[in-house]
Amino acid sequence: MTHGIQFYDSRGGETLGLNSKTMRAVSLVYGKGLPTNGAMVALPKFDPLKGVVMVEAYGIEQTIMPGYSIVGAYPNASLKFDVLDAEWAAAFGAQYANQQYSIMAVHYK
């Protein structure tokens, strides 16, 4: 039995089910720290109409990442991080300086 990517909402309802789809990564981008100011990251070769984007933080005991959205269209799509509250970022942002994150953009069919 194989399983694709599945996303669920807080009540357990499926919001995206890719069990019967094949997938391939088209962009894999690495970063370090905590993006606080609405940074944009280019997603080379990614078409938002054909896939999904996943962000994973790792490398320290407790990680955090701001929300994000996908802006633009193929071939110029980008991931745009939300701007974090400036007061919060000033107080706590430094403790995430050593966290790492990866952004994976995947096409499915």
pLDDT at residue 12, rounded to an integer: 85
| 66/79 Cα distance (integer angstroms) | 12
pLDDT at residue 1, rounded to an integer: 46
pLDDT at residue 3, rounded to an integer: 61
Residue 17 included in any domain: no
CA atoms within 13 A on the CB side of 73: 1
Residue 43 included in any domain: yes
pLDDT digits (tens, 9 = 90+) for 4-50: 667 778 888 877 776 666 777 788 899 999 999 999 999 999 999 99
User: By residue range, what is the domain housing residue 86?
Assistant: 23-108
Residue 7 included in any domain: no
Quote the number of domains for the chain: 1
pLDDT digits (tens, 9 = 90+) for 56-102: 999 999 999 999 999 999 999 999 999 999 999 999 999 999 999 99
